Amino acid sequence: MTHDEITRRAWILRLSGATVLTGVSGDLDAAGKPPLPPGLYEPSLDHLAHSLKTVTAPVSDPPPPHYFASEDFSLIQALIGLILGEEPTAPPVPEIAVWIDLIVGRSQGVRAAARSLTPAYRRLAADFYGEDTVRELESEDPQAICRNGLIALQQGGFWNLDTTARVAHLGELENAEDPFITWFKRRVLDGFYTSRQGLQELDYKGNSFWVESPGCAHEHS
């Protein structure tokens, strides 16, 4: 199946969305009423079409990396593939790689912005999240983490290993709480479970159209 095809789930969403609105009185149709001033609105099929467009529209090809050099970017894709058990070119690996490239590329700016918070805003953030979280935002350097992590893998001959041995080595690094693998695996999980494939794999049943309130249908004792 290509990205351009409408998935069965998307069709269900579309149909059930239409069902939701079919059950509505004619008030949904604003025809015959004077137009409302900008900013006021009524329930509208136009809004539904807008929403469903995002469900059914094809995912465009991932853009090229902005931060990682192409050689490193290939390694990033290969690592994502290993963590997920997929080929480096299999969806959604490339889109996760592009997102990681984006957040690593912007991390220097994030750090600078965090360090530039006024004392009042910093105090507010520290009271809200805790001092440790604010310090982490001010100091965490994903560029260095990734750079050092990739160098270490390279120097350790990681890429000369076969797939089984690579996964075993990643396990050793994880058990040793290696900063790169710890940081990177979490981003891969975030990237995967926010992808279409990952959400389908979870059988995620949210962002949907239900006729009645989801809730407990069981008896518990």
Among positions 80-119, residues that touch another protein (CB under 8 A) are: 82-85, 92, 95, 99, 102-103, 106, 109-110, 113-114, 116-119
Q: Specify the residue, 71 or 203, whose C-beta has the smaller distance to another protein.
A: 203
Instruction: Give the sign of the dihedral formed by CA 41, CA 43, CA 45, CA 51.
Output: positive
Distances, alpha carbon 17 to alpha carbons 8, 23, 27, 46, in Å: 14, 10, 17, 12
Among 72, 90, 147, 196, binds another protein (CB under 8 A): 196
In angstroms, give the least distance from the CB of 169 to another protein. Answer: 10
Tokens 């480096």, residue?
88
Q: Specify the residue, 124 or 144, whose C-beta has the smaller distance to another protein.
A: 124
Tokens 């076969």, residue?
162
Asked if 8 touches another protein (CB under 8 A), the answer is: no
Q: Among 64-72, 141-149, 154-162, 213-221, which window interacts with another protein (CB under 8 A)?
A: 213-221
Among candidate residues 193, 206, 6, 187, the one with its CA nearest the CA of residue 80: 187
Among positions 116-145, residues that touch another protein (CB under 8 A) are: 116-121, 123-125, 127-128, 137
Asked if 52 touches another protein (CB under 8 A), the answer is: yes
Asked if 210 touches another protein (CB under 8 A), the answer is: yes
Q: Hey, how many other C-beta atoms are within 10 angstroms of the C-beta on 8? A: 9
Between helix 70-84 and helix 142-155 the angle, nearest 10°, is 80
* DSSP 3-state percent helix, strand, coil across the chain (nearest 5): 65, 0, 35
Distances, alpha carbon 115 to alpha carbons 42, 88, 108, 111, 120, in Å: 44, 36, 11, 6, 12
Asked if 177 touches another protein (CB under 8 A), the answer is: no
In angstroms, give the least distance from the CB of 143 to another protein. Answer: 14
Asked if 2 touches another protein (CB under 8 A), the answer is: no
Q: Specify the residue, 73 or 81, whose C-beta has the smaller distance to another protein.
A: 81
In angstroms, give the least distance from the CB of 16 to another protein. Answer: 8
